[in-house]
Amino acid sequence: MVGFRAGDVPPTATVKFIGAGTAACIADPFTFPLDTAKVRLQIQGETKGPANTGHGPVKYRGVFGTISTMVRVEGPRSLYSGLVAGLQRQMSFASVRIGLYDSVKQFYTKGSDHVGIGSRLMAGCTTGAMAVAVAQPTDVVKVRFQAQIGAGANKRYNGTMAAYRTIAKEEGFRGLWKGTGPNITRNAIVNCTELVTYDLIKDALLKSSLMTDDLPCHFTSAFGAGFCTTVIASPVDVVKTRYMNSAQGQYSGALNCAVAMLTKEGPKAFYKGFMPSFLRLGSWNVVMFVTYEQLKRAMMAARHNWVTPL
């Protein structure tokens, strides 16, 4: 009998779903400080917000300047403020948007072997929107934690579950779904760009025989996807972060938030936090997709060993 290799059998939808969520949770702690720095840079320039309490305005300059300022003023733990909500978000969000991507793509192609760019884009938009519908409250809480400046009693949110309760009590149940519109837009763009470019780069490398379906190929595809995604999605990402973190009544809607940014801070405001965003998304993509590919193989091998009699 020929020996079994995990790559011989396509992974099941369940394996992809669980593998994507697990891989995203593994990647998040490595890149979370960059994500927090990105949020601080994106909200810099706002006059008010529900989480900006406890200190006067703090000036952040660049990725590492932001990180060093946070460590000096608030302590090293501030870089991981909101990590619990972040992990909750990744487990629900990535499982849907990445784990279901191939299944939705097959649905749009109706089982055909030929997968066009249109089917990939439709699949990316669909799973991105589905993921936001599931994970929006966790994203709101994560951003609020990352944005708040203060220590001890000065912090408005002192625990993840308490934050959910506080937002629901003060802003209503709808407060937990604040920014759903821009977040769906942002994640449709991110999902299309990230998954489609990863898919296309990987396919191109394999078809041209430049690389085989292993670690270097996954690394190259993930890093390229991270750069393309950051360039395209940054403006919507900044608006999403600002709007999610805004005080009640500060903006009438996401469009009003975008117009206010353009009027007060100019076009450059839409690319605030670009460098930490790219470093975070690029490194997150590498860790997540490489881990995801390896987990899929390991889970399929384990499944094969379990169902195959000795």
pTM of the model: 0.75
The answer to whether position 227 is within a domain reads yes
The answer to whether position 225 is within a domain reads yes
Q: What is the mean pLDDT of the chain?
A: 83
The answer to whether position 207 is within a domain reads yes
Name the most confidently modeled range: 34-38, 102-106, 116-120, 243-247. Answer: 34-38
DSSP code, position 113: S
> Among 51-60, 76-85, 234-243, 260-269, which stretch is predicted with the lowest mean pLDDT?
51-60
The answer to whether position 248 is within a domain reads yes
- Distance (Å) of CA 127 to CA 58, 89, 191, 302: 37, 15, 8, 27
Q: What percent of the chain has pLDDT over 70?
A: 89
- Do 62 and 275 touch, CB atoms closer than 8 A? yes
CA gap 244, 142 in Å, rounded: 10
Given a cut of 90, is residue 17 above it in pLDDT? no
Residue 198: what pLDDT?
A: 86
CA gap 266, 262 in Å, rounded: 4
The answer to whether position 145 is within a domain reads no
Q: How many domains does the chain have?
A: 1
The answer to whether position 215 is within a domain reads yes
Residue 3: what pLDDT?
A: 45
The answer to whether position 193 is within a domain reads yes
Residue ranges making up the domain that contains 240: 181-271
The answer to whether position 233 is within a domain reads yes
Given a cut of 80, is residue 94 above it in pLDDT? yes
Name the most confidently modeled range: 9-18, 25-34, 116-125, 242-251. Answer: 25-34
